[in-house]
Structure 1
Amino acid sequence: MTDQALPRVVDQATWQHELDALRVREKAATRELDAIAAQRRRLPMVALPDYTLTGADGPVRLVDLFDDRQQLITYHHMWFPDAEWQCGGCTSFTAQFTRLEFLAPYDARFVVVTQGPIGEALAYKEKVGNKMDWYSTADSPFGADMGAGPGEGFAVNVFLRDGDTVHRTWHTDGRGTEQLTHTFALVDLLPYGRQEEWQDSPPGWPKTSTYSKWPGSEDVAAAYGPQGVSA
């Protein structure tokens, strides 16, 4: 027997009744997310200048990041100059994207951009075992113009290409990026949830400080890096 607080124990009929009541809200949320996605598809877009970033092989135009596809997602990875370990949240977030081939039938690509110099960025990518393609905005205003400049946070941007003209169609940052991760979707299914102090949980539920259960960059490197268990 555990001395930790537990959900109350009920009979099958009571459990099913309460699950059915929750399911009404879950289905309503699904329909609302569908409506939000429909509104997102109707957003206008803005044409961008011809930015140049830096890739593993040198300078690369923004339009070339599409790799001949029409749609592009960029994750703007936080970067701290001269730091051994970069943002743990960004590192663990991008570590989950190990297979991106499924985007090809949708004529889309998903890449990482960061303010770090390309040599340092690629070395960090290797150290933590990241599988995504990385590009540097260190010598370009692109990161700052897209909401993730030097010393700023992380962001996600989406673009649509019309010939050689790139248009920005969507942007988010902060908790807006949660919809892209399976991590919280799985954890939020658990009876105890994220166990973070800000969450609405019953009395006695385990609580820890926010971020305390998140994997750090060192943890990601240990799991996925060259010497990691998944290497």
Structure 2
Amino acid sequence: MTDTTGHRAPALPPIVDRDTWQAELDELRRREKAATRELDAVAAQRRRMPAVEMPDYVLDGPDGPVHLYELFGDATQLIVYNHMFTPGNTWQCGGCTGFTSQFTRFEGLAAFDARFVVVTQGPIDEALAYKRRVGNRMDWYSTAHSSFGSDVGAPPGGGFAVNVFLRDGERVYRTWHTDGRGTEQLSFLFGLLDTLPYGRQEVWQDVPDGWPQGPTYSRWLDSKDIAAAYGEEPGDAVTGS
């Protein structure tokens, strides 16, 4: 048959009959179910973690100083994404920008008495300008005048992190932290990619011979891509590095 679409697969898996395919799927499903049960057990252990009480940090918000407990709004649970930020740069970390661009609807989280916000080391005016530039839909706060970021694993010039907190009145407790690839569990993009035949197409992944692969991060959208797709100011000139 002549291909008329112009779209040819760069590689193909072994082509088998339906029964052989179903047997392979059944074997994989056993491993998937075991992994699901292990993730359930990990989540159960996380729910049994102790907590540490936090000081009464004061951060910068869109309308001025805010206490840490005020970031919860009406909720008692809070997820914080600590966004990497270099003051003075027009474009910030592409990974952080792409990660947080996934989160646009929070009603489902609110139904579970929880809120999800961004906290960055950048000055609040720069942080809010960047939020508009890339079309981010989350609520942003700044720890530029507080030790909060440093105390939860996201110091100035440091990496990104996710921290989770529980509030009892005005008292706030830190219950969980992760960084690096630990944040992948919050991203729907990686889950979708891992279902695809070619996966993430990065050199570190275990793939069959001939599968397309490229440098790590090479297919990720960068900050300018996110701004062009979602931002209010996609035409901003780059003034920083």
Give the TM bin, normalised by the shorter chain: over 0.9
**Aligned letter for 1:94?**
T
Q: Distance in 1 between matches of 2:197 and 2:219?
A: 16
Give the alignment of 1:154-193 within 5 angstroms: 154-193=160-199
Structure 1 gaps of 5+ residues are none
User: Secondary structure, in 3 states, of the residue corresponding to 2:111?
Assistant: helix
Q: What residue in structure 2 maps to residue 22 of structure 1? A: 28
Q: What residue in structure 2 maps to residue 146 of structure 1? A: 152
TM-score (ref. length: structure 1)? 0.97
Runs of 4+ in 1 over 6 A off after TM superposition: none
Q: What residue in structure 1 maps to residue 239 of structure 2? A: none
Which residue of 105, 121, 128 corresponds with 1:122? 128
Q: Distance in 1 between matches of 2:28 and 2:150?
A: 42
1:196 partnered with 2:202: yes
User: Secondary structure, in 3 states, of the residue corresponding to 1:106?
Assistant: coil
**Aligned letter for 1:95?**
S
Q: What residue in structure 1 maps to residue 99 of structure 2? A: 93
Give the Å deviation of 1:102.
1.0
1:36 partnered with 2:35: no
Give the Å deviation of 1:152.
0.2
Which residue of 108, 112, 115 corresponds with 2:118? 112
**Aligned letter for 1:18?**
E
Give the Å deviation of 1:143.
0.2
Query: Contact 2:79–2:164 at 8 Å: present in 1 too?
Result: yes
1:8-54 per-residue CA deviation (whole Å, 9 max, x = no partner) reads 00000000000000000000000000000000000000001100000
CA RMSD of aligned residues (A): 1.1
Give the 3 Å change call, closer, same or farther, for CA 227–125 of structure 1 in structure 2.
closer
Query: Contact 2:133–2:232 at 8 Å: present in 1 too?
Result: yes
Q: Distance in 1 between matches of 2:119 and 2:144?
A: 10
**Aligned letter for 1:42?**
R
Give aligned pairs, total.
Answer: 228
Give the Å deviation of 1:176.
0.3
Q: Distance in 1 between matches of 2:9 and 2:140?
A: 47
**Aligned letter for 2:185?**
Q
Q: Distance in 1 between matches of 2:89 and 2:199?
A: 32
**Aligned letter for 1:47?**
E
Give the Å deviation of 1:227.
5.8
Q: Distance in 1 between matches of 2:9 and 2:57?
A: 58
User: Secondary structure, in 3 states, of the residue corresponding to 1:81?
Assistant: coil
Q: What residue in structure 1 maps to residue 13 of structure 2? A: 7
Q: Distance in 1 between matches of 2:72 and 2:202?
A: 38
**Aligned letter for 1:88?**
G
**Aligned letter for 1:48?**
M
Q: Distance in 2 between matches of 1:9 and 1:207?
A: 21
Q: What residue in structure 1 maps to residue 75 of structure 2? A: 69
Q: What residue in structure 2 maps to residue 56 of structure 1? A: 62
Give the Å deviation of 1:3.
7.3
Q: What residue in structure 1 maps to residue 53 of structure 2? A: 47
User: Secondary structure, in 3 states, of the residue corresponding to 2:176?
Assistant: strand
Q: Distance in 2 between matches of 1:122 and 1:36?
A: 36
Q: What residue in structure 2 maps to residue 134 of structure 1? A: 140
1:224 partnered with 2:238: no
Q: Distance in 2 between matches of 1:199 and 1:3?
A: 19
TM-score (ref. length: structure 2)? 0.93
